Amino acid sequence: MPEQLAFAMEVFLNGLMAGVLYALVALGFVLIYKASGIFNFAQGVMALFAAMTLVGIQNGQVPFAHLINAIFGTHVHTFGWNVPSVFALIFTVIVMILLAWAVQRFVFRHLVGQEPIILFMATIGLAYFLEGFADLMWNSEIKKLDFCMTANTCLPQGINLAIDEFTFNAFGYGFFIDNLDITATIVAGILVAALIAFSQYTKQGRAMRAVADDHQAALSVGISLNFIWVLVWSLAGFVALVAGIMWGAKSGVQFSLSLIALKALPVLMLGGFTSIPGAIVGGLIIGVGEKLFEFWVGPLVGGATENWFAYVLALLFLVFRPQGLFGEKIIERV
């Protein structure tokens, strides 16, 4: 019995850590939806693009190398040097800010006041464009992500995840939690606290909420819609970068990384599309719930319950509480 309790505690803690990673992705959705009313289908691809850009810069890879070689008959692939992780991170943040500006300048600037379905379809197109652009820019090979602040503090390398683990003892039994999951939890906590403070206590944060309520009214009181949209897409890009680093270090940087957005959907349905704390709580519920359900019920039904548990739970919430735990209940009078 104590052994089962210790194992259940390990499953519970690993579920919490997985939930944090889900919540990191959901945060990007919440930021954009909260500020602009747009459900950004491209958030998962943004995490992929950010992670691929970080790895490409780290490795000194020449952007569009395959295209350049095909046109000019050259065989250039790298610059011949590696870039330290900190500088690569800074350059990647700049790239994501430029991406945010481009998205606002060439896409959503022309869609102000359009119906939500039009904006949603625009994000679908953006997702496929970014995926193809990332392939063209950095190629489609699976890449290892080594993020080192110093020589001795690296995130685990790609698929070789089990090299650093933290050991706990409970009921006389030891169990393990990956250092990457602990790091993700700390980073997510800091990120959420910073985003909540920014949204509630800064002039730009209040302007973001005003834009979310009514684009035209925000314009009429002097709020720059262009600036706010660049700001919110930049923040979502930074969140996508953090999520891409964590997921890329866990499973390698590959195109399936963009599918993490699908796991964020149940998180949003549970926590609410407009709540930053809701994204965290929803992620933790999904992470813990699917791990414990697999632990207790999985053996009785043949396993593989993690593939569908989150979506069944989200369906129940849609039926009985469609606004989620922390979402706003919107009443429209006709």
pLDDT on residue 330: 60
The separation between CA 243 and the C-alpha centre of its own chain, rounded to angstroms, equals: 4
Going by the DSSP 8-state scheme, the letter that residue 158 receives in this structure is: T
> What pLDDT is recorded for position 56?
92
What letter does residue 82 receive in the DSSP assignment? P
Short-list 130, 158, 132, CA closest to 246: 158
pLDDT of residue 113: 74
- For strands 165-170 and 148-150, give the pairing: unpaired
Which residues of the chain fall below pLDDT 70?
1-3, 147-175, 328-334
pLDDT value, residue 316: 92
Three-state SS at 174: strand
Task: Identify the pLDDT of residue 3.
Answer: 67
| Residue-wise DSSP of 120-134 | HHHHHHHHHHHHHHH
Question: Which pLDDT score, from 0 to 100, does residue 161 have?
Answer: 39
- Closest by Cα among 274, 217, 262 to 37: 274
**Chain Cα centroid distance, residue 283:** 11
Q: What stretch of H or E contains 104? A: helix 85-106
